[in-house]
Amino acid sequence: MARRENSEINAGSMADIAFLLLIFFLVTTTMDVDSGIARKLPEKSEDTPEVTIKEKNILDIVVNRNNALLVENEFVEVSDIKRLAMDFIDNGGGLSTPKADKPGEPCDYCNGAKDPASSDHPTKAIISLQSDRGTTYGMYVSIQNEVEAAYNELRNKLALKKYNRTYKDLLSEYKDNATESLKDKINFLKDSYPQIISEPEPIK
Amino acid sequence: MSKFKKKKKGLPAISTASLPDIVFMLLFFFMVSTTMRETDLLLKKPVLPTASEVKKLEHKSLVSTIYVGKSKDARIAGDKIQVNDKIIDINDIPSFIFSERALRKEEEVKYMTTSIKADKEANVGTILDIKEQLRDINALKISFSTTKGADIKSNYK
C-alpha cells in the first residue's frame, strides 16, 4: 500500500492521440469530392433561326440500344472515337465562319489532313451524338468522355505550341491565381477549338 | 478543522486529464456531423461510370444532386430518380431545383450546378428527360458524376 501515490497513469499523451484522430477525420471527410464531366446545356429559346450546316461539318455519332456505335455510318469501337473526332475537328479543309468585319480565313493552327470532304474549320465542326432511349448511361458517358478527351488533346497541342505549357497546366494555374493574361490564353484556346456538341432527340 | 489545513500544503498542478475528453468530444462531433449530410439512398447505390476527363466540382454548397438508379425492390423495374430524401417523378425536378434555388442567395443562382449521379446501367432516355427538364427552367450547368479512372471499357461491359 506504500506505492499508492504512483498508481495514477499519465494521461498527458491521450490528448495527442485524440488530436491525431481528429485531424485524420477532418482530412479524410473532405477528401471525397464529387467529380464528373461538366456540360453546359443549350439555352431554350422560342425562335431558333433555321441554320443550314453542310453535311461535311457534322460528325455523326449514333449509338443504339445494344450499345453498338456508328460513326459516319461505319461500325467503330468507343476507343476509336477520340482519334476520329480529333481528325475531324482538326481537319481544317476550308474557311472559318465569316465574322462581321472580316471574311472567313483558313485554319492556320490545324494539323489535320485538310481533306475537303471533312470539316472546314474547328469553329465550324459539330459533333452530333444521337443516342437511343435504351442505351446504357455508361456507354453514353464513355462517348462524352472520349469527345471531351479529343477536345482537350487538341487544346493541349495548341497550348504547347503557343505557350510552351499544357492546357491543363494553364487551367490549374488559373484556379490558383486568376489573372487577366491567363484568362485570355485560356479563352483563346477555347475559341480555337470550341466544343460544339449537338444531341438530337433520342431514337424511341 | 485540522484535517482541512493539512491538505492545503503545496500547490497542486493543474490537471490535464480532462483535455483528452474535450478533444474526444470534438472528434466525435466531427465524425458525426460529417456523415450527417449524406442523404440516405432509397435506391440501390448507383455504380458510377468511369471517365478520364473529369473536373472537380467546386463550391459544394452550390451543387444539387440528382440520383438515378434502380429501386431497391427488385420487382420494380425501370429507373427511379431521387433527390434529397425522397423518390420523385421526372416532372417534379423543376420544383426541386426551384426549392434549391430558394435556399441560395440570388447572385449565386447562376453558379449552381446540378450533379447527376446515375448508375451506369441506367437508360439514357431517363437522363435525357432530366436534361430536358433542367433546360426548361434554365438550370444549364450540369455534371455527369463519374469516378476518375482510365478503364473506360468497364462502363459498357
Query: What stretches of B4-54 adopt beta strand conformation (E)?
Result: 50-51
B109 in contact with chain A, both atoms CB, cutoff 8 A = no
pLDDT at A59: 87
Number of CB atoms found within 10 A of residue B51's CB: 27
User: Quick check: A18 and B145 CB within 8 A?
Assistant: no
Distance CA B99, CA A123 (A): 38
pLDDT for A178-196, tens place per residue?
A: 888 888 888 888 888 888 8
Place of cell 497541342: A157
**Greater model confidence, A90 or A105:** A90
User: In this predicted model, what pLDDT tens digit does every residue of A14-30 receive, in sequence order?
Assistant: 778 878 888 877 776 65
Residue B39 has what pLDDT? 67
Residues of A in contact with B20 (CB under 8 A): 11, 14-15, 17-18
**Whole-number mean pLDDT of chain A?**
81
Which of these CATH numbers, 2.30.40.10, 3.30.420.270, 3.40.50.2300, 3.40.1580.10, describes B50-156?
3.30.420.270
Separation between Cα atoms, residue B58 and residue B53, nearest integer Å: 16
Rounded Cα–Cα distance for residues B157 and A198 (Å): 26
Residues of B in contact with A67 (CB under 8 A): 156
Q: CA-nearest residue of chain B to A152?
A: B53
Q: B4-39 in b/e burial notation, b at 16+ Cβ within 10 A?
A: eeeeeeeeeeeeeeebbeebbeebeeeeeeeeeeee
| 3-state class (DSSP) for residue A197 | strand
What is d(CA B36, CA A111) in angstroms, rounded to the nearest whole number?
52
**DSSP character string of A8-72:** S---TTHHHHHHHHHHHHHHHHHH---EEEEEEPPPP-S-PPP----GGGEEEEEE-TT--EEET
Flag the least confident range among A93-102, A147-156, B147-156. Answer: A93-102
Number of alpha carbons in the 13 Å side-chain half-sphere of residue B93: 27
Whether pLDDT at B31 is above 80: no
| Under 8 Å between Cβ of A156 and A91 | no
Identify from A14, A16, A37, A133 which residue to disrupt to test chain B contact, counting B C-beta atoms within 10 A and taking the largest count: A37
Query: How many beta-carbon contacts under 8 Å exist across A and B?
Result: 165
Picking from A39, A136, A145, the nearest residue to B120 by CB comes out as: A136
Where do the structural domains in chain B lie, given as residue ranges?
50-156
Question: How far apart are the C-alpha atoms of A138 and A131, rounded to whole Å?
Answer: 12
Q: Do B124 and A132 touch (CB under 8 A)?
A: yes
Interface membership of A79 toward B (CB under 8 Å): yes
Give the tens place of pLDDT for each residue, B85-99.
888 888 888 898 998
pTM assigned to the model: 0.77
